Structure 1
Amino acid sequence: MLIGGFTALVVLVAAAVGGLYWLDYESRHPEPDSGRPGAWMSTSADEVSRFAHVGIPAAAIDVRWGYQNGFQDDFAVLAFRVPQAGLEDFKGTLTVSGWAESRYVQSADLDGFQHVGAPDPSSTLPLTCGDFYSPGPAKQIGTRVCFAARDDGTSQVWVSAMHTP
């Protein structure tokens, strides 16, 4: 009797935890354009470009972008390729104070680039990256720009931007 009661209690607790996990799924995976925290929103490449304070060069190809509504801090990603001959001109439009080789890409950035179907920056090493901050409507925007040369004569550029406290 005691073993049966304990078994029933364990099954009941497991069912309750599973039910809460199932109910919480929607808050962890909000519908696109729902406006809920974590939802990927429909927006244009120009809007993402303005948010990140990074202009998209006229010669850019394979432009991909995404904008995620955050609980407190919104997040945007932008990826494109530019001819290697135009990379220095593009870099000159940015307020990055210094560029450095990097082997680390934040998981949030990787998730964003994967979401928009951009190449995985962590598989294209070495990366050259730089950061800068820009004024936003309520908070500053922290932007990270990374790039790597490709065999086809272009450079892949990855941009991630987020509100900063």
Structure 2
Amino acid sequence: MAPRSRRKLLVAVLAAVLLLLAAGVGGLYWVDYDLRHPKPDSGRPGAWMTMDAAEVSLFTRVAIPTGADDVRWGYREGFQDDFAVLAFRLSQAGLEEFRRPLPVTEWAERTYIESVDLDGFQHIGAPDPPNASPLTCGGFLSPGQAKNVATRICVASRPDGTGQVWVSAFHTP
């Protein structure tokens, strides 16, 4: 075989190896992206599951008042712990009625909400809690069969005279 033919063969083999390597890296990125962003209802950890508002309400241990408007909810199945968010609007009078029966021991004013909760509220398209100020937040722990459920609730008055409610809950050991 002539030196020129060997050089062409070497270049062709090298190009094929580089193409296979690029395809392999692209495939790994695609697989990794799919793992990081599971499709809804895939049943894999991190997937936002399709559940109705009543099921999310049961999980969070917070009943959605009958007069609630703009009710939004989401539920994410985790590797070890599941996570649910719920948001809705109430009249100011309805807001006080909503807070009264909750087993929250102490309500406190806050200026922030945990980042995991913010991600959940953004996922369901709820109004952004940090833009509502002041926030009054509280929480409670509900015993469960295998795990307890920790529920956090924040409320804020809106400029239109209504109140906004944000609820998040997750399993905790």
SS at match of 2:90: strand
- Matching residue of 2:143: 135
**1:117-156 correspondence runs (5 A):** 117-156=125-164
TM-score, normalised via structure 2 length: 0.83
SS at match of 1:136: coil
The verdict on how the C-alpha distance between 1:83 and 1:29 changes in structure 2, with shifts beyond 3 A counting, is: same
TM-score, normalised via structure 1 length: 0.87
Computed over aligned residues only, the root mean square deviation of the Cα atoms, in angstroms, reads: 1.8
In 2, the alpha carbon distance for the partners of 1:108 and 1:21 equals: 25
Tell me the amino acid that sits aligned with residue 52 of structure 2. S
In 2, the alpha carbon distance for the partners of 1:164 and 1:104 equals: 22
**1:8-157 correspondence runs (5 A):** 20-157=28-165
SS at match of 2:94: helix
CA apart distance, 1:137:
3.0
Tell me the amino acid that sits aligned with residue 122 of structure 1. P
CA apart distance, 1:101:
0.4
- Is residue 170 of structure 2 the alignment partner of residue 162 of structure 1? yes
In 2, the alpha carbon distance for the partners of 1:164 and 1:98 equals: 20
In 2, the alpha carbon distance for the partners of 1:17 and 1:99 equals: 51
In 1, the alpha carbon distance for the partners of 2:132 and 2:25 equals: 41
Percent sequence identity over matched residues?
Answer: 67
Tell me the amino acid that sits aligned with residue 69 of structure 1. E
Tell me the amino acid that sits aligned with residue 130 of structure 1. G
Which runs of 5 or more residues in structure 1 are unaligned? 1-10
Measured against aligned partners, the alpha-carbon deviations of 1:114-162 in whole angstroms (never above 9, x if no partner) come to 1111001011121000010002231000000001001212100000000
Measured against aligned partners, the alpha-carbon deviations of 1:57-99 in whole angstroms (never above 9, x if no partner) come to 1110000000001000000000000100121211112100010
Tell me the amino acid that sits aligned with residue 155 of structure 1. G
Which runs of 5 or more residues in structure 2 are unaligned? 1-17
